[in-house]
Amino acid sequence: MAKYNLVPVNHQSTSNLLTLTSINNVDVLGVPLSNDPSLAPYSFKSTMSRIALPSTQLKRATVSFRPVQGYTCNWDQAGFLFVRPKPELPEPSAEHPGTSGTAPSFIKIGIELWEGKLYHMICSSHNDLTDWSLHAIPEAYEGEKDITMNISRFGDRLAIQAI
């Protein structure tokens, strides 16, 4: 079995790479879903820890959350980020998020706050096309139960499920 190392990205924590804190107004996004000129067209600023592996080795990944208070503004997110970097930018970062043609393709799955309510979230970006969708989480889960999401590989496709 191959050994993979967890590596910090956009943070310096070495004590617990699975407990992350972030500041407001950071994100990973492709072309913004807004006409706001103050938003950069590409961003790779979120605090994260990564494991690099060839995409052919991804079979399945599962993440569970227990939402707690602390989500304060629209688009607060927590989850998995699957990145497929372009050869021109093999390690995107806050300082080097990419541009049209070099920004990485990605899929984010997890939870997101929108208008005061938590949702399951899926967001993807590939070659300057971005898609984002939300699915309501039953209020009974908030702070009481784990929310689990699964991503599985089927040939050249990925299936994402809320469990």
Please give the residue range of the domain that contains residue 58: 7-13+27-162
Of the candidates 84, 160, 71, 65, the residue with the CA atom closest to the CA atom of residue 122 = 160
Longest dimension (CA), the chain: 47
| Pairing of β 7-9 and β 105-114 | unpaired
145 part of a folded domain: yes
pLDDT tens by residue, the chain, 163 residues: 566 666 667 666 666 666 655 666 666 667 655 677 777 777 776 666 677 777 788 888 888 776 666 666 666 677 788 888 999 999 888 888 888 889 888 888 888 878 888 888 888 888 888 888 888 887 766 666 777 888 899 988 888 888 8
120 part of a folded domain: yes
156 part of a folded domain: yes
Residue 52, C-beta contacts closer than 8 angstroms, at least 6 positions apart = 4, 7
20 part of a folded domain: no
2 part of a folded domain: no
56 part of a folded domain: yes
74 part of a folded domain: yes
* pLDDT of 86: 92
| Per-residue pLDDT tens over the stretch 55-93 | 788 888 888 776 666 666 666 677 788 888 999 999 888
The model carries a pTM of 0.76
CB 162 within 8 A of CB 120: yes
Residue 139, SS3 per DSSP: helix
CB 148 within 8 A of CB 160: no
- Count: domains in the chain: 1
60 part of a folded domain: yes
